[in-house]
Every structure is written in structure tokens, then in C-alpha cells.
Structure 1
Amino acid sequence: MASKTNARKRWTLLIDKIKAATNNPEDDLECDDPQFCIHLLKNPILRNYNKLKKYLIGSSNTWMVTFLELSGLDMMLEALDKLSGRGVPSIHDALLQLTCINCVRAVMNSQNGIDHIANDDNQIRKLLQALNSPVILVKKQVFDLLAALCMYSTGGHVQVSQALRHYKSAEKYQYGFNVIMHELRTDNVPYQVTLLSVINAVILGTENLHSRARFRNEFIGLHLLDVLPILK
């Protein structure tokens, strides 16, 4: 009990330090220049990611286009890939991963951002590499974004399907959607809900009925119908 209390205290202190470190009004002036945000990304620390996330949320279309042209999203995805491959993370590293993926989400919440990634299979493949993280909240965010891409456009659906099949080969899964079925073994209910939403997005994200049937049959072949009663 004492160890859990101490862990909560350390987490609270860490959050307080991050808030104090990111509450500088001068940073807003510097972030008016997308080039400055690119400079922040070259030093992937919590303070920099928190400043970046704050500005990404309220950025203009023009600013976002420039940020994307300067490879800002690529840099975040590359950093996320490296962070996710470190093995069991400390509290600090876990929070760093979460803040990084939240920055990616902020980009995708913009029209220019989601258009950009939906048409770039390489970036979606990089996003999938974050599934190597042992942090469930990070993987949940990744699957949330994949579901959004599937439903956003035909191109996004195609890119996600192809990226999952590429991930299958890279991680030595037998089938493209095995990674989703593997993760469904968790007892984390919110995570299970997200995974089921991805399955629905993959099946329903295409208007072609033959493709829908093919995706549905592939999940059935991976024993989805056996898993569903357990999830209830």
C-alpha cells in the first residue's frame, strides 16, 4: 500500500513540474514561427512536447501547412518510434510517449493534418510502430487514430489496411489483423472498446461490399466470433 502511495506522489510531483516548466508566456511568441517548433522537436523532452501540443491545438491552417512541409509530423513519428522501442518505460518515459502521441493527435485533428497522413503510407507505418510500446494508453491512442483514418476517406482506409499488412510482416504475425486480435486479450475494457471500434472501422470503412465481406471473413478466420462472447 505504501509503495502505491509513493508512486502516486511521484506522479503528482512530476505533473506539477511539467506544468510549471511549460507555463511561460514568452513561448507563445516564439511558437508563432513553425521553424521554432521544428527546433523544439530536435530536443524531444516533455517541456518541449507540451509547448508544441499547446500551440498545435490552436494553430491556423497556414501555420499547420508550413509545419507539415518542414517535416514536423515525420519528426514526431520518428521520435515516437524510438520512445516506444525502449522496453518497459519509467513514469517519465511513459508520459513522454503519451505527450508525443497527443501531439500527433493534435495534428490529425486539423483538416490539413489528417489529409497529409491519410495519403502517406510511410507515416502510417511509422505510427504503427508505436504499438511496440508496453504502455496501453499509447497503443489505445494509436488504434483510435487508425480507426479515424479508416473512416475519414477511402485513401485513409486503404493506407491503414496496407500498413497493417506491412506491420504483420515486420512483426512476424501470420495475418494482417492478428495484431488487433492479439491485443483483444487484454482485460482493460476501454482498450477493448477501442479495438472493437478499429475492427468496425476496417470492415465498414470501405463502400465496396465485396471488400467488406473479405475483411469480415478475415476477422472471423482469426476467431473474432469466439472472442466476442468473452468480451460481453
Structure 2
Amino acid sequence: MSIKKEGAHRKWAALKEKLGPQDTDQSEANLENAEPELCIRLLQMPSVVNYSGLKKRLESSDDAWMVQFLELCGLDLLLEALDRLSGRGVARISDALLQLTCINCVRAVMNSHRGIEYIVSNEGYVRKLFQALDTTNVMVKKQVFELLAALCIYSSDGHGLALDALDHYKNVKNQQYRFSVIMNELSNTDNVPYMVTLLSAINAIILGKEDLRTRTQIRNEFI
């Protein structure tokens, strides 16, 4: 066991040396063959370079790698970081970029079968994801609503979790309706791609239910 740990420490030291102290000369960390444990350690040093490298590694990972990453709380760390970044108000461009690259990693997790199944099977993750809406960063909010739509279409359980997250957000923000956040965003933006995403999310919420009567009830909530 000690030999294994020493090997991991050597790998980690070599990786840090490759990245350099400030990662100023690279746009992304080279994590092509990195084990989940090393990626978890990188998540404890948030940077655009680290998140960009992790996104690429997540996109190329197999099922076994993704499962291990999730079991090591990789998604938890990403969502916690996203929550902290959202609370900053994104006053600086560097923070906005960090926030965007972080949610890109969450998206990469959800784009995998193991990842989205893990999210649907564990209550609370979608609520945590929705906390990222507390930002002025339109690109981040756009991604959140795109992921919401994907959950609604993926399965009835995913649809239920999306509605639960909307209800929770309504209560936290003392809003009158569970869809207020969507309608408010739609009313307050002139960003056409963002509008399209919001309308797509509305369609996914409505069409995510097979029962026609339920669809009609949900649609009426938007009117």
C-alpha cells in the first residue's frame, strides 16, 4: 500500500512540475492519461488551466474511469466550486472564465451515460447545479438551462429532479411560481442564443411528461 502511495505521489509531483507553478504557458493541463485521483487533487487547485484539462479528460474517459471519478466525489467538488464562484458576482473576467470552464466540466460529466445516471440516482445534485444561476454570467446560466432541458428529456426521473430543483429555487428566492426564474430571465434578456435556450428549456419541461393532461397543466403555468 505504501509503495502504491509513493507511486501516486511521484506521479503527482511530476504532474505539478509539468504544469508549472502558475500554469501561465498552457491553456489546459495535460491530463490525457491522468488517473481519477490526480484529477481530484487538481480540483482542489481551481484554475482555468486545470478545468480545461479536466474537461478534455472527462470527455475521453471510459465508464470505469468516470465511475471512479464520481465515487471520489469529483462531481461534488465541481458543484461546490461552481457555487462559490457564483457567490462572487463575477466582477472580473477571470472569475467569469473560471466559472464557465467549471460548468463545462459538469456538462462533460452529464454527457456520459454513467455521469447522468449518477446525477439522476442521487438527489440533491440538480439543486446544487441550480445554485449556479446566482450569477450575472449569461453563458453560465445558458449552460444550466441546457442541462435542465437534457435532464427533462433523458427520463421521467430526470424530469422530476428538474422540477424539484425549480421548486427549491423558488422557495430559496421567495418567488411566487416555480417557473419564475425562467420567465424572468426570458423577459430581461436581449441575448438571442440565450432566449433560444430558455424557450428550449420550456419545451423540454412541457414535453418531458407523456401524459397530455399533465403537459397542459405545466404549459398553463407558463402562461
1:5 corresponding residue in structure 2: none
Matches within 5 A, 1:135-150: 135-150=137-152
Partner of 1:157: 159
Residues 81/24 of structure 1: CA separation in 2 closer, same or farther (3 Å cut): closer
For 1:178 and 1:211, the matched residues in 2 are separated by 19
- Count residues with an aligned counterpart: 201
Matches of 2:147 and 2:23 in 1, distance apart? 25
- Name 2:9's counterpart in structure 1: none
Determine the C-alpha separation between the residues in 2 that align with 1:69 and 1:198. Answer: 30
Give TM-score, length-normalised by structure 2. 0.86
Q: Structure 1 residue 209: deviation in Å?
A: 1.8
Alignment check: 8 A CA contact 1:143 1:194 kept? yes
Going from structure 1 to structure 2, the CA distance change for 1:171 and 1:59 (only over 3 Å counts) comes to same
2-side partners of 1:37 and 1:24: how far apart?
10
**Inter-CA distance 134–24: structure 2 relative to 1 (3 Å threshold):** closer
What is the aligned partner in structure 1 of residue 196 from structure 2?
Answer: 193
State the AA in 2 paired with 1:125: R
Q: Which amino acid aligns with 1:37?
A: C
Q: How far is 1:20 from its partner? A: 3.3
Q: Structure 2: how far apart are the matches of 1:107 and 1:18? A: 24
User: In structure 2, do the counterparts of structure 1 residues 19 and 145 end up closer, same or farther at CA, with 3 Å as the change threshold?
Assistant: farther
Tell me the SS of whatever aligns to 1:20. coil
8 Å CA contact retained: 2:43, 2:77 = yes
- 1:133 corresponds to: 135
Gaps of 5+ in 1: 1-16, 221-232
| Counterparts of 2:110 and 2:204, CA distance in 1 | 17
Q: How far apart are 1:75 and its partner, in Å?
A: 0.8
DSSP 3-state at the match of 1:89: coil
**1: CA distance between counterparts of 2:28 and 2:186?**
39
Residue in 2 aligned with 1:10? none
Q: CA 1:133/1:174 → structure 2, altered by over 3 Å: closer, same or farther?
A: same
> How much has 1:24 moved relative to structure 2?
6.0
Q: 1:190 to 1:23 in 2, by over 3 A?
A: closer
**In the TM superposition, what is the alpha-carbon distance from 1:175 to its structure 2 partner?**
0.6
1:230 alignment partner in structure 2:
none
* Pairing 1:49-64 to 2, within 5 Å after superposition: 49-64=51-66
SS at match of 2:174: coil
Q: Partner residue of 1:83?
A: 85
Structure 2 residue corresponding to 1:39, chosen from 8, 19, 41: 41
Q: What's 2:32 paired with?
A: 28
Instruction: Give the letter for the 1:148 counterpart.
Output: A
Deviation, structure 1 residue 153: 0.3
Instruction: Indicate the residue corresponding to 1:206 in structure 2.
Output: 209
Deviation at 1:114, TM superposition (A): 0.9
Report how far residue 88 of structure 1 moved: 3.6
- Distance of 2:119 and 2:26 partners within structure 1: 31
